[in-house]
Chain A
Amino acid sequence: MRLTGAVPNFLVFAALIAVAVIADLTGNPYIVTLATKVAIFGLAGVGLNLALGYGGLVSFGHAAFFGLGGYVAAILASHAASGAPVVTFPFTMMGTNEMLAIWPFAILVAGFAALVIGALSLRTTGVYFIMVTLAFAQMLYYFAISWPTYGGEDGLSFYVRNTFSGANTFAPLQFFGICAAVLGITMILVALLTQSRFGLALRAAKENETRVIASGIKPFAIRLTAFVLSGMVAGLAGALFADLNRFVSPAMLSWHMSGEIMIFVILGGVGRLAGPVAGAAVFIALEYLLGPVSDHWQALLGLMLILIVLFAPKGLMGLALGRRGHV
């Protein structure tokens, strides 16, 4: 990876940590929570960026994986609280409130869903792909609403944040630290991935599919793998988000959520490693600053997005960096 590309990415990440630490020292736990939210949404965006930015797969259904990860965390936690097993057939599985045990499940479930949805959606291209991913996510949304076992429309609360051995997850800065560490590690993995052989094939398939085929590589397998990895990261982000709120609801699966994750990516700059983090930070800062000013801040957000699409299509990081530093 070239240095010019790595520096802005590192700066975005460092700025996020600085904000959280300073806010904690100056006694602003709410700001720490906002920074945590940025880390989690940024993580979901980094996941989507893998498919969207590097693979050119415009998925409008990543809320499905985000929400599934969240529900896995909430369901395991609520069973741990009640003591009832999650399933009794074909084997007995109890709930858990240990994050390190929850995350692999969240990742696996989201990854499996991404495998099924991706295998079907990747049969299509272009605008069909957008609509089909949207529709499958919506299917899970309606399923969550009409399935009463885990709260249906009302969602599912768990009152105690899950634990992480060695940390006090209730201290805002410590929980932020966990989320930021997950984000940082994921960003490093994604950076490696995009520069690897796999990343070479994935990025090539985005630009010229015919050439990739003529080189003896099947784009479908490459894309499906990227889509599954992308869904796994989104699922992990969802599990963290569930822990942040100690609550999940079908809203996590809704298409507004998919749209927001997509906004983080595009706002920050498609195909830039830290773009989604910058995008999520701007989004949450706007919500925080404009929310009290006007109940209708989303209209302002909408206007701003339209202006960005029309006049700054490379996103905010692209705007700030000009043509340089594209990773």
Chain B
Amino acid sequence: MLLLAEQVLNGLQYGMMLFLMAAGLTLVFGVMGLINLAHGSLYMVGAFACAAVAAATGSFWLGLAASLAAAAALGAMVEIVVIRRLYSRDHLDQVLATFALILVFSEGTRWLFGSFPLYLSLPPVLSGAMTLPGGLVYPAFRLAIIFIGAMVAVGLFWLIGRTRLGIRIRAGEADREMIAALGVDIAKLYTMVFALGAALAGLAGALVGSVQSVQVGMGEPVLILAFVVIVIGGIGSIRGALIGALLVGMTDTLGKALLPGLFARFMEASAATSVGSALASMLIYVLMALVLIWRPTGLYGARA
């Protein structure tokens, strides 16, 4: 039972991390109609910024701040130089140009930091484990990720639903000319939205980099999972991103934890492990296919 609870928490933590990635993607698509493959690069840049600053200053917290700042700044810069020229283009051009950005960022990072993975050390307050009610001992850092993800979700709902910026974002989503006619500087608004999404991706990168390793290419698998998340949730919907992220996080974690054991009940052990893990790796895509059959525009997507 404790084992299951632990896996559920792992799934929750994974889901929250995916949410940080997916939120920016879905926001940028919802508001600007842009598909951004380079979102994973911003995740990577956040992780490297955190690792570099933490190593230079000895402070993890400064590193975390640097990850937000670096990803946001890079995001804003890329938006101004390249991305804003793509809003009026078709998705094919957007895919190609942002794919090209990945090549530039990956090679650029490799040139700066080399190919060897970097490791971050956690501050003492986060490196221990906490005993939860019920007796489960769980790493504090993972709990922190869950907490941060939840705070970001609350913050985004508040931002979109309650603030002037949110009103502008929603208006920009609905009608580009309308909001421009109202005198809002749409170019600046778009840059801000893009930078916000970038900062969230950078934060996710720094957090994950702290428990795993920091290396070139780390953003790509996460990017594709984030795509699965927003396809399930419905593109453009923050709520969909949250629900989708938790579904994907849970399905993947529990599938990988439970399937091999399940197969072992009626199969020989080593075969069960390989079949189980192979199937577990496909589980979230099966989930996506099922959602698509049921609702082609995702759980919270605009109905066609």
A residues whose Cβ falls under 8 Å from a Cβ of B: 52, 58, 60, 120-121, 123-124, 126-128, 130-132, 134-136, 138-139, 142-143, 145-149, 255, 259, 262-263, 266, 270, 296, 298-299, 301-306, 309-310, 313
Query: In the complex, how many angstroms separate the beta carbon of B122 from the nearest chain A beta carbon?
Result: 29
Of B92, B103, B220, the residue contacting A302 (CB under 8 A) is B103
Q: Do B97 and A298 touch across chains, with their CB atoms under 8 A apart?
A: no
CB distance from A272 to the nearest CB of B (A): 14
Q: Are B100 and A306 in contact, CB atoms less than 8 angstroms apart?
A: yes
* Contact residues in A for B97 (Cβ distance below 8 Å): 305-306, 309-310
CA distance A130 to B99 in the complex (A): 13
Interface band, chain B: 35 or more
Q: Is the CB of B104 within 8 A of A303?
A: yes
State the main secondary structure of chain A at its contact with B.
helix
Q: Which residues of B contact A270 (CB under 8 A)?
A: 92
Bound-state Cα–Cα, A298 to B298, Å: 35
Q: Does B101 lie at the interface of the complex (its beta carbon under 8 Å from any beta carbon of A)?
A: yes
- Measured between beta carbons, the chain B residues less than 8 angstroms from A52 are 92
The contact sample of 11 A-B pairs, CB cut-off 8 A, is A120-B293, A131-B35, A143-B282, A146-B274, A146-B277, A146-B278, A262-B96, A296-B111, A302-B104, A306-B82, A306-B104
Judge if B289 is at the interface, Cβ distance under 8 Å: yes
Measured CB to CB, the nearest residue on chain B to A302 is B103
Query: B116 CB to closest chain A CB, in angstroms?
Result: 14
> Which 3 interchain pairs have the tightest Cβ spacing?
A302-B103, A299-B107, A305-B100
Identify which of residues 160-193 in chain B touch chain A, using a CB-to-CB cut-off of 8 Å: none
**A131 and B277 contact, CB distance less than 8 A:** no
Q: Which of B85, B103, B224, B297 is packed against the most chain A CB atoms within 10 Å?
A: B103
- Comparing B130-138, B198-206, B225-233, the segment that makes contact with chain A is B225-233
Is B235 at the interface (CB under 8 A from chain A)? Answer: yes
Q: Is the CB of A142 within 8 A of B282?
A: yes
B212 within 8 A of A: no
Task: Kindly identify which residue among B101, B293, B298 contacts A306, using a CB–CB cutoff of 8 Å.
Answer: B101
Q: Which B73-92 residues have a C-beta within 8 angstroms of A?
A: 82, 85-86, 89, 91-92
Residues of chain B within 8 A of A131, CB atoms compared: 35, 227-228, 230-231
CB of B119 closer than 8 Å to a CB of A: no
By beta carbon, the residue of chain A nearest B277 is: A146
Contacts of A145 in B (CB 8 A): 281
For residue B151, which residues in chain A have a CB less than 8 angstroms away from its CB? none
B97 → chain A, closest Cβ, in Å?
A: 4
Q: Which residues of B contact A262 (CB under 8 A)?
A: 95-96, 99
Instruction: Report if B106 contacts A (CB, 8 A).
Output: yes
**B292 adjacent to chain A (CB < 8 Å):** yes
Contacts of B285 in A (CB 8 A): 135-136, 138-139
Check B104 against A299 for contact (C-beta < 8 Å): yes
User: Please, which residue of chain A has its CB at the minimum distance from the CB of B97?
Assistant: A309
Within 8 Å CB of B196, what residues of A? none
> Contact mask B97-135 → A, CB, 8 Å, 1/0?
101111110111011000000000000000000000000
